[in-house]
Structure 1
Amino acid sequence: MTSHTRLAIAASAGACALALGVSAPALAEQQDQAMVSVFHGIPGMTVDVYANGDQLIRDFKPGTVTDPKALDAGTYDIRIFAAGKGPGGTPALEKKIEVSEGANATVAAHLSADGTPELTAFTNDVSQVDAGKARLTVRHVAAAPAVDVRAGGQPVFSNLTNPKEDTAEVDAGTLNTDVVLAGTDTVAIGPADLRLGEGTSNVVYAWGSADDKNLALATQTFSGMASSPRGVPAGGNGAAVAPNSSDLNPAWAAGAGVVAVAGVLVARRVARRRG
């Protein structure tokens, strides 16, 4: 990897690091706040992140999803360094970032379909789900062609392209999933078992590079969207999964009922694509 590429990767990873404020309540209780997470999906660079002179993330590694953080709306001076090189040295990137109030978003630093580092902001759906259900969202942020996402061998999301997403409401339980090249049975990632707790909103990122053979999955989960009487304020956590993992098993799933799932499990298709 050239120094120019490393700088571009560090810049892309760092520009989204504004999400890590100093406090992390379950909800932004002030109208002038936002809940923001960061997903680092560019292989090959570990960075430290500073905002307004304070270190927010140390050794931020590819494949990591941060917990949602409450940020006051406003402007942040973000400075990004190669791990261990700040704050006295020259930053790989310094940029002022504007944080809008009322948002619940994840900013992803990832590769485009042709392998160029870039940033994409996604809105996280933390609205209520029906009793016994969970929300599943898949985001294609890998340097790879269009893919289908399957559960039990059957497509749930089809022809998903970078950097789009698709969403469905499914039965809570366990999904045996894989990612295949669109319209084929050629497996690109997986298989992997994904546990979906009742009343959760689960985001799966397909990231990495097909050419470099490091495609992987990472998960982000928001809890507390169950219908009454189980409804509670929505929180969330992020968990990363190693390349081609055989088990996606976030800590939030502990104690959730496990249901063997085969075939098409979509109970109510929300089917949403965002550019």
Structure 2
Amino acid sequence: MRRTTAAGLVVGALIALGSALPASAATQSTAQLSVLHAIPDTPVDVYVNGERTLDDFQPGTLAGPLSLPAGNYEVALTAPDAADASAPILGPATVSLAAGGDYTAVAHLTEAGEPGLNVFTNDISTTAPGQGRLTVRHVAAAPAVDVLASGSPVISGLTNPNEQTLDLPAGTVSAAVALAGTTDPVLGPQDVAVQDGALTVLYAWGSAEEGNLAIAAQTITGLHSNPDGVPSGTAGYAAVQRDSEILLAGAALIGVALIIGAVSATVAIRRQKIRR
């Protein structure tokens, strides 16, 4: 892990303050972006537009969401010790973000086992009362799979790098992943909570050949309309983090103010001693 500079801390604080804004403060010119690292045994650095954004990013880790201006971004993945993005192990690839959209960029293995990068659009449209949304994404080095619920296929023939989405009654579903046309799970079964008014995304990632298949999960809340009928939209699962982020940001600002006050008091005392 590289040493963090004072400038880096300032930039990080600005990003944290930006992401801590309430959903009502977001403009229609921004998009939400999360990043999932789903390439086994391969820590990476993530570069966006030539700048290192994620350092020593570990497999199975989900980062974000971050509010970004709509537009095109060049993303590249390098070895953790790379000095820059001139020799990426994946990319560079262009990621296009539309205003008001919610996206997850996934670095993963193709069906053939080669590194790949895909950007998925998260369906944050309003769900019916009492219902939640479940999306399954196949990003593993594995052939087509079926998704089973209580032993029966509810999604059939899902291939890498595709997805399928279902709106379901809120509750718990016992889900498993099997090779297409079979019922012998290669992943699971696992209890999955389908939350009222939330999008739950399951990622099947890893390699069947290497025996390291795994499931990653992402939850985006706020899919119901609020009392005045306006969907929460891109508030997403960041909403559950933002109250604490605001408190942390406020505490940080108070801390800075206290430090500045203490330094000013010390300087004043020293000046008085000099004058004496």
TM-score (norm 1): 0.69
Contact 2:224 2:232 in 1 (8 A): no
Say what the alpha-carbon RMSD is for the aligned residues: 2.9
1:99 Cα offset (Å): 4.0
Unaligned stretches of 5+ in structure 2?
1-13, 242-276
1:30-109 matches, within 5 Å, as 30-51=27-48, 55-74=52-71, 76=73, 78=75, 80-83=77-80, 85-87=81-83, 92=88, 95=92, 97=94, 99-102=96-99, 103-109=101-107
SS at structure 2 position matched to 1:236: helix
Q: Which has the higher contact order (CA 8 A, sep 6+)?
A: 1
Deviations 1:177-229 (A, max 9, x none): 11011111221101111112210011111111000000110011110112554
Per the alignment, do residues 43 and 128 of structure 1 end up closer, same or farther by CA in structure 2, a change over 3 Å counting? same
- CA deviations 1:30-55 (Å, max 9, x no partner) are 23222111121111211222445654
Q: In the aligned structure 2, how far is the partner of 1:26 from the partner of 1:194? A: 29
* Percent sequence identity over aligned pairs: 43
CA contact (8 A) 2:47 2:85 kept: no
Q: Secondary structure at the match of 1:212?
A: coil
Which structure has the highest helix share of the two? 2
Q: Structure 1 residue 237: deviation in Å?
A: 4.0
Matches within 5 A, 1:190-209: 190-209=188-207
**Displacement of 1:29 after TM fit?**
2.0
Following TM superposition, by how much is the alpha carbon of 1:107 offset from its aligned partner in structure 2, in angstroms?
1.6
* Alpha-carbon distance change, 122 to 80 in structure 1, aligned in 2, over 3 angstroms: closer
Corresponding residue number in structure 1 for 2:236: 236
Q: Give the number of the structure whose alpha-carbon radius of gyration is greater.
A: 2
Structure 1 residues 74 and 163, CA gap change in structure 2 (3 angstroms): closer
After TM superposition, give the deviation of residue 75 of structure 1 in Å: 5.1
- What is the deviation of 1:118? 1.1
Q: Gapped runs of 5+ residues in structure 1?
A: 1-20, 239-250, 252-275
Please, what TM-score do these two structures have when normalized by structure 2? 0.69
